[in-house]
Amino acid sequence: MIDLTYLSNFYCKTPQKLSMYSWYGSVRLYHFRVPEDSVLVCWHLTVTRGSGSSCGNHNISIYIRSGAPPVINPIDTAFPNETAFLLAYNLTASISSGQNTTIFNVSNPEPGDWFIAAHLPKDNGKIEQKGFSSMCSYFFQPQMFVRRVIDMPILESKAPLLQTVSSPEKPAFLKFFVPDYSTHLIFHVWGCSTEGVEGADCPLIITVGSTSLQPFSVRTVNCTGMTSCAVRLLTPPWETWIRITVESIYVNLTTTFSVSANLTVGCKPKSVGLIGDFLAKLNTNSNCVSGANNSAVVGNTTMSGNTSLMLEPFGNECLRTYSVFKEELDVVSVQFSVIGGPNLIVLTQAPTLIPLDLTSFADTGGTLNLHLKLNQTNMTNGNVSVVACLAAKSPFLALNTTQSCRTAFSQGYSLNLNVTSPKAALRLPFPEAAMWYLTLQVLCPDNASDCANVSSTVMTSVYLSACIDECGTYGECRLLRSYSYLYASCVCKAGWSGWGCTDGSTAQTYARQLVAALLLTLSNLSFIPPIIVALHRCYFAEASVYLFTMFFSTFYHACDQPGVTVMCIMDYDTLQYCDFLGSLTSIWVTILCMSRFKDIYKYTLFMLGALIIAMSMQLDRRGMWNMLGPILFALLVMVLAWVYRGVKRRQCYPTTWKRWVFFLIPGIAIAIIGLCVYVFTETDENYFYTHSIWHIMVASSVVFLLPPREYQKEPWGCSRKFCGYQICKNEKEELYTVT
pLDDT at 133: 61
pLDDT of 595 strictly over 60: yes
Rounded CA-CA distance 528/41 in Å is: 66
- How confident is residue 314, by pLDDT bands cut at 50, 70 and 90? very low
pLDDT of 718 strictly over 70: no
- How confident is residue 131, by pLDDT bands cut at 50, 70 and 90? low
**Which of 404, 311, 382 is closest to 352 using CA atoms?**
311
Q: Nearest 5°: phi and psi at 591?
A: -65, -40
* Mean pLDDT lowest among 120-124, 344-348, 380-384, 528-532: 380-384
Beta bridge partners of 103: 44
Find the mean pLDDT for residues 402-424.
Answer: 89
Please give the single-letter amino acid code of residue 267: C
Give the range with max mean pLDDT: 118-132, 188-202, 535-549: 535-549
Instruction: Give the list of residues 6+ apart from residue 281 with CB closer than 8 angstroms, or none.
Output: 309, 310
How many angstroms separate the Cα of 622 from the Cα of each of 126, 520, 537, 552, 581? 16, 19, 33, 17, 11
Find the mean pLDDT for residues 709-717.
Answer: 65
**Which of 244, 218, 247, 33 is closest to 152 using CA atoms?**
244
Buried b (16+ CB within 10 A) or exposed e, 532-555: ebbbebbbeebbebbbbbbbbbbb
- 515 three-class SS: helix
- How confident is residue 294, by pLDDT bands cut at 50, 70 and 90? very low
How do the domains of the chain map onto residue ranges? 6-149, 161-265, 285-465, 510-726
Please give the single-letter amino acid code of residue 176: F
Instruction: Give the list of residues 6+ apart from residue 139 with CB closer than 8 angstroms, or none.
Output: 15, 16, 17, 18, 47, 48, 50
pLDDT at 319: 83
pLDDT at 733: 41
How many angstroms separate the Cα of 620 from the Cα of each of 206, 428, 580, 585, 682? 60, 38, 11, 15, 21
Fold classification of 6-149 (topology level):
Jelly Rolls (2.60.120)
pLDDT at 653: 81
Rounded CA-CA distance 245/528 in Å is: 79
Contact indicator for 8, 145 with CB cutoff of 8 Å: yes
- How confident is residue 367, by pLDDT bands cut at 50, 70 and 90? very high
pLDDT of 199 strictly over 50: yes
Q: Which CATH class is domain 510-726?
A: mainly alpha
How many angstroms separate the Cα of 216 from the Cα of each of 207, 389, 440? 12, 17, 23
Question: 285-465 is classed in which CATH architecture?
Answer: Sandwich (2.60)
Rounded CA-CA distance 671/376 in Å is: 71
Contact indicator for 687, 495 with CB cutoff of 8 Å: no
Rounded CA-CA distance 197/201 in Å is: 9
Q: Are strands 112-122 and 20-21 parallel, antiparallel or unpaired?
A: parallel
- The per-residue pLDDT for range 535-573, each reduced to its tens digit, is 998 899 999 999 999 999 999 999 988 877 888 999 999
Find the mean pLDDT for residues 247-260.
Answer: 90
- How confident is residue 611, by pLDDT bands cut at 50, 70 and 90? very high
Find the mean pLDDT for residues 161-185.
Answer: 90
Please give the single-letter amino acid code of residue 583: S
Rounded CA-CA distance 534/543 in Å is: 5
Rounded CA-CA distance 287/24 in Å is: 36
* Mean pLDDT lowest among 12-21, 615-624, 670-679: 615-624
Phi-psi region of 573 (alpha: psi -120 to 50; beta: other; left: phi over 0): alpha
Rounded CA-CA distance 11/17 in Å is: 19
pLDDT of 285 strictly over 90: no
Are 285-465 and 510-726 in the same CATH fold?
Answer: no
- How confident is residue 277, by pLDDT bands cut at 50, 70 and 90? low
Rounded CA-CA distance 537/653 in Å is: 20
Q: How many angstroms from the chain centroid is the CA of residue 532?
A: 49
Q: Nearest 5°: phi and psi at 394?
A: -155, 150
Q: Detail the DSSP E strand segments found in 267-323.
A: 295-298, 301-304, 320-321
| Choice between 103 and 443, residue whose per-residue pLDDT is larger | 103
Rounded CA-CA distance 536/603 in Å is: 19
Fold classification of 161-265 (topology level):
Jelly Rolls (2.60.120)
pLDDT of 721 strictly over 90: no
Rounded CA-CA distance 413/429 in Å is: 13
Determine what percent of the chain is predicted with pLDDT higher than 90.
55
Give the CB-side neighbour count of residue 412, counting CA atoms within 13 A. Answer: 30
Contact indicator for 59, 121 with CB cutoff of 8 Å: yes
pLDDT at 303: 38
Torsion of CA 664, 665, 670, 673, to 10 degrees: 140
Find the mean pLDDT for residues 286-303.
Answer: 39
Contact indicator for 311, 298 with CB cutoff of 8 Å: no
* Mean pLDDT lowest among 154-163, 380-389, 565-574, 659-668: 380-389
- DSSP conformation class of 332: T
Contact indicator for 41, 87 with CB cutoff of 8 Å: no
Rounded CA-CA distance 80/413 in Å is: 16
Average pLDDT, the chain: 85
Rounded CA-CA distance 341/459 in Å is: 9
Q: Is the peptide bond before 654 cis (omega within 30 degrees of 0)?
A: yes
pLDDT at 730: 46
**Which of 291, 360, 352, 357 is closest to 322 using CA atoms?**
352
Find the mean pLDDT for residues 14-28.
Answer: 93
